[in-house]
Amino acid sequence: MFLNKLLILLIILLIIILSYIFLQKRDEVYYIEDFLSKEDYDYIKNHVKNINDMKNERFRYIKPINDINIQRIFYSENIINKIQSIIDNKIMKSNFPIEYRIYPKGSEGMKCHKDTLLYDEPQYEMVYTIENESDSYTNYFTYTGRNKKIYTKPNSLIIVKAQENIHCVSPVNEGYRSILKLIYTQTDKYNNNYLNELKRFNSRF
The span from the CA of 180 to the CA of 69, in Å, is: 14
In-domain check, residue 14: no
Q: What are phi and psi of 70, to 5 degrees?
A: -65, -40
Closest CA to 83 of 123, 114, 26, 140: 123
Closest CA to 62 of 50, 70, 51: 51
Provide the number of structural domains found in the chain: 1
Segment 93-150, tens digit of pLDDT: 999 999 999 988 888 888 999 999 999 999 999 999 999 999 999 999 998 888 999 9
Q: What pLDDT, on a 0 to 100 scale, did the predictor assign at position 139?
A: 94
Q: What pLDDT, on a 0 to 100 scale, did the predictor assign at position 22?
A: 53
What domain range is 136 assigned to? 28-202
Type of residue numbered 29: V
Angle of CA points 96, 129, 149, to nearest 5°: 110
Q: What pLDDT, on a 0 to 100 scale, did the predictor assign at position 1?
A: 60
Angle of CA points 181, 115, 102, to nearest 5°: 30
Instruction: For the chain, list residues with pLDDT below 50.
Output: 55-56, 58
In-domain check, residue 13: no
In-domain check, residue 151: yes
Q: What pLDDT, on a 0 to 100 scale, did the predictor assign at position 109?
A: 84
The span from the CA of 128 to the CA of 189, in Å, is: 25
Q: What pLDDT, on a 0 to 100 scale, did the predictor assign at position 20?
A: 52
- What pTM did the predictor assign? 0.85
In-domain check, residue 194: yes
Answer for the pair 181, 152: CB distance below 8 angstroms, yes or no.
Answer: no
Answer for the pair 176, 131: CB distance below 8 angstroms, yes or no.
Answer: yes
Q: What pLDDT, on a 0 to 100 scale, did the predictor assign at position 17?
A: 59
In-domain check, residue 10: no
In-domain check, residue 6: no
Q: What pLDDT, on a 0 to 100 scale, did the predictor assign at position 161?
A: 96
In-domain check, residue 85: yes
Q: What pLDDT, on a 0 to 100 scale, did the predictor assign at position 121?
A: 96
**Which domain CATH number covers 122?**
2.60.120.620
In-domain check, residue 68: yes
